[in-house]
Amino acid sequence: MTVTINGTTGIVAPAFDGAVDAADLTGTVPSSAVPYVSGRNRIINGNMVIDQRNNGASVTGSYAVDRFEFQENSGSGYTVQRSSVAPSGFSNSLLITVTTAASASAGQTNRLIQRVEGHNIADLNFGSANASTVTLSFWVRSSLVGTYCAALVNNAANRAYVAEYSISAANTWEYKTITVAGDTTGTWETGTASGVQVTFDFGSGSDFNATAGSWVAANDWRTTNQVNFANTSGATFYITGVQLEAGSIATPFERRLYGQELALCQRYYYIRPRNDFESARHHGFDVGTNRDKKQRFHPVTMRAAPSVTFTSSTAIRDDGVGITATFVASVDASNIGVHINTSPTQYGAGTVHSIGYGYTADAEL
């Protein structure tokens, strides 16, 4: 069984442009043929394996797993969490459960989004005559059957493409694909800002209604046919295997090593645990100001200088003794400089202890 791409027989032709289109393929494509083309998927953590914030715990909103944000301001109640319920070939999904039913008013939202950094969609040439066709694919399972909506929206929220897909059997995994001709107009970010928002609706208000199947000059992500998921107490929705790629064919989900996926997520958010010790007086203790100076490099270069929140008002010595401290941080995309304002005697008489201090660094889009 063979596949011919751009006239060359094999898995990947030398001139292959990274987008799998119908014109590129002849013959029958085996399921193992295309996955070796790396860098196809613009979605990060599409298989829902990385959950730095919650480690699988149920939360009421915001980021349930890395890179996927759940937004709700309609009065509905939800829990969202990483789940081990998944289709064959996957180990995790994102589960959304309605705990309090409510219908959204015109301007209220109930949606799941991932903002894809502009650097990662720059080659799609959106906003030009050379805009690439893209395909969104994913696995879904819901207790409610009917029509659902997914959308692509630009950073300025004035260009959007809304698509409908159907869930036909309750509590059954179904695979969905949506192909979208690239937008030839509008402004699309190609730097560190959001390049495109990939949005899944669950019952937002009428202000976000559009006609499916074409680009519109608006901030829309649903149609009037969307199932009012938010208004059904106990309703459940699972999603995984989310992939956005260039081309008109949905190729098998691009799997990355766990460490690779984690590093991609840490460009936007990471947690330093409090018990991650480092030597005291690493950069020198300023006795005159009772200040210990330290520098810590981020695991990867972050998208931008992150917002840093210390997880405790005290540092901790390697022997478990707490150190009363005031933290002052200066940060950029590559490192954090920390001044720990404290007394040198707290490091221990005659012994220089290692100390730990925890924080979160957030550079989400």
Helix/strand number for the chain, H first, E second: 1, 26
pLDDT for the residue numbered 279: 58
Query: What does the block give as tokens for 278?
Result: 């480092």
The residue length of the chain stands at 365
pLDDT for the residue numbered 276: 77
Backbone phi, psi, residue 24, to 5°: -80, -20
pLDDT for the residue numbered 23: 61
3-state DSSP assignment of residue 225: coil
pLDDT for the residue numbered 10: 45
Q: How confident is the model at residue 123 (pLDDT cuts 50, 70, 90)?
A: very high
Q: Residues 299, 328: contact at Cβ < 8 Å?
A: no
* Rounded Cα distance, 61 and 71, in Å: 7
pLDDT for the residue numbered 349: 59
Q: Residues 196, 150: contact at Cβ < 8 Å?
A: no
Question: Could you read off the pLDDT of 167-226 as tens digits, one per residue?
Answer: 999 999 999 999 999 999 999 999 999 999 999 999 999 999 999 999 999 999 999 999
Question: Could you read off the pLDDT of 72-81 as tens digits, one per residue?
Answer: 988 889 999 9
**pLDDT, averaged across the chain:** 88
pLDDT for the residue numbered 8: 42
Question: Could you read off the pLDDT of 332-342 as tens digits, one per residue?
Answer: 999 998 877 77
Using the predicted structure, report yes or no on whether residue 115 has a pLDDT greater than 60: yes
Query: What does the block give as tokens for 248?
Result: 């008109």
Q: pTM for the complete prediction?
A: 0.89
Question: Could you read off the pLDDT of 254-268 as tens digits, one per residue?
Answer: 999 999 999 999 999
